[in-house]
Amino acid sequence: MSGTERSHFELHGEEPTCSTGGVWLSCIACGEQFPPFETVRYVCDDCDGLLEVRYADLPTWNDFEGRGVWRYDAALPFESGVSLPEGATPLHDVPRLKSSIGVGRLRVKHEGMNPTGSFKDRGMTVGVRVAEQMGVERLACASTGNTSAALSAYGSRAGLETLVLLPQGKVAAGKIAQASCHGARILEVDGNFDTCLDIVGDLADRGDVYLLNSLNPFRLEGQKTIGLEILEQFRDEEGSYPDRIVLPVGNAGNTAALYKCFRELVASGALESSDVPKLTGVQAEGAAPMVEAIEENRAETRRWESVETSATAIRIGNPVNAPKALPGIRETGGTAAAVADEEIQAAQQELAREGVGVEPASAASIAGLRTLREEGVVTEDEEVVCLTTGHLLKDPDAAVEAGTEPETVPGTTPGVRDHLGLE
């Protein structure tokens, strides 16, 4: 990305005439500005660049009150939304992992504790509110599973029709069960996630559906609140801001959302630029186009046509938010790492043994931190937050595989005592 293009990442409060209530859309590539709710658009009319939501007024810490995502309404386009409610997730201490990895502090922000069990709920509470504003009837997404579960729940709650496109045979059972039970129409596509997104993008361009993938800039506004919560919780409990936030990366929407959170806080004066945590993305080795782009210092990712990992949530070869997320990783002084599926499973087990149940993709953050610590990229005094994005029960098959084997015993107390070797 050239210096000129990067300047469009700078936030300034000059309100254009196309704004509605101090909110507008801006293209991150060419800077063109658009009204937020007049017409449905996901990318720039002029250059196809990604869009960002911009605000005339950016809040500081004193402007927030309440709990969960809508505590941060001053940083969002609306004061309320379709809510279940979401956010206010725990920031766990994991003392055994902290000492075995060897960092100054380690906290785990467990987004699996959201209503449908993943961070996607934060995006949907805002995204579905915008869909209501736009007056659309049918919502759709491509998904590796969690987005579909969240869309189905929030869309149905709003009384809207929901359509989800999933890569056949590659979505964890819990997620399909959720999408199905919450009432989505589920299409299993003969192709991977990227193919699903190509198709649903075409449907959205034709006006057949309203797209609620993270290409939709409003969804990322909701996900921004993860960053706000982490900073507030960490500051209140640890007395400082974390040096680094480590997160799993698929479509790179969350990385983009966190970067936007930090930029807005710096622009409003709520955060010193020296206090911005280093954004550190982790991918599975079999699906690591972002890691490749960071390592090869490329401005864009190369689309991986063939991807494979047991962490199916991040089995993605064409991260559409890379133009927002790569600058986020670079500008914050962060990095990216790839981890093997075995390392992901080991991290899932370690987290589970500390009582924190996460799905495989989520454990990639811990596995990545361990790798970067071993390589000396992360130092022993660093204060780190790892993001765990989805709940253990999302992927029951992976959980059973990572767990212990049940033992068969007779249906009598002496039989059980005998089996346990008790005298």
Tell me which residues touch ligand F0G (CB under 6 A): 118, 120, 143-147, 214, 248-254, 313-314, 359, 361-362, 389-390
Of 143 and 301, the one with the shorter C-beta distance to ligand F0G is 143
What token pair was written down for 325? 């997320």
- Taking a C-beta distance cutoff of 8 angstroms, is the pair 232, 266 a contact? no
**How many contiguous H segments (helices) and E segments (strands) does the chain have?**
14, 13
What token pair was written down for 411? 């249906």
Of 270 and 387, the one with the shorter C-beta distance to ligand F0G is 387
Q: Are strands 185-189 and 210-211 parallel, antiparallel or unpaired?
A: unpaired
Return the exposure string of 117-130: e unless at least 16 CB atoms fall within 10 Å of the residue's CB, then b: bbbbbbbbbbbbbb
What token pair was written down for 234? 């960490």
Say how far apart CA 284 and CA 337 lie, in whole Å.
Answer: 8
Of 50 and 270, the one with the shorter C-beta distance to ligand F0G is 50
Q: What angle do CA 320, 373, 364 make, to 5 degrees?
A: 40
Least separation in angstroms between residue 188's CB and ligand F0G is: 14
Q: What's the first-to-final CA gap in the chain, in angstroms?
A: 71
Of 251 and 268, the one with the shorter C-beta distance to ligand F0G is 251
Which residue, among 244, 267, 254, has the nearest Cα to 334 in the 3D structure?
A: 244
Of 19 and 283, the one with the shorter C-beta distance to ligand F0G is 283
Least separation in angstroms between residue 312's CB and ligand F0G is: 9
Least separation in angstroms between residue 202's CB and ligand F0G is: 18
Of 83 and 143, the one with the shorter C-beta distance to ligand F0G is 143
Least separation in angstroms between residue 410's CB and ligand F0G is: 41
Which residue, among 182, 82, 162, has the nearest Cα to 122 in the 3D structure?
A: 82
Least separation in angstroms between residue 116's CB and ligand F0G is: 10
Of 118 and 268, the one with the shorter C-beta distance to ligand F0G is 118
Say how far apart CA 22 and CA 14 lie, in whole Å.
Answer: 10
Least separation in angstroms between residue 363's CB and ligand F0G is: 10
- Taking a C-beta distance cutoff of 8 angstroms, is the pair 336, 281 a contact? yes
Least separation in angstroms between residue 58's CB and ligand F0G is: 23
Q: Quick one: which H or E segment has residue 161?
A: strand 161-167
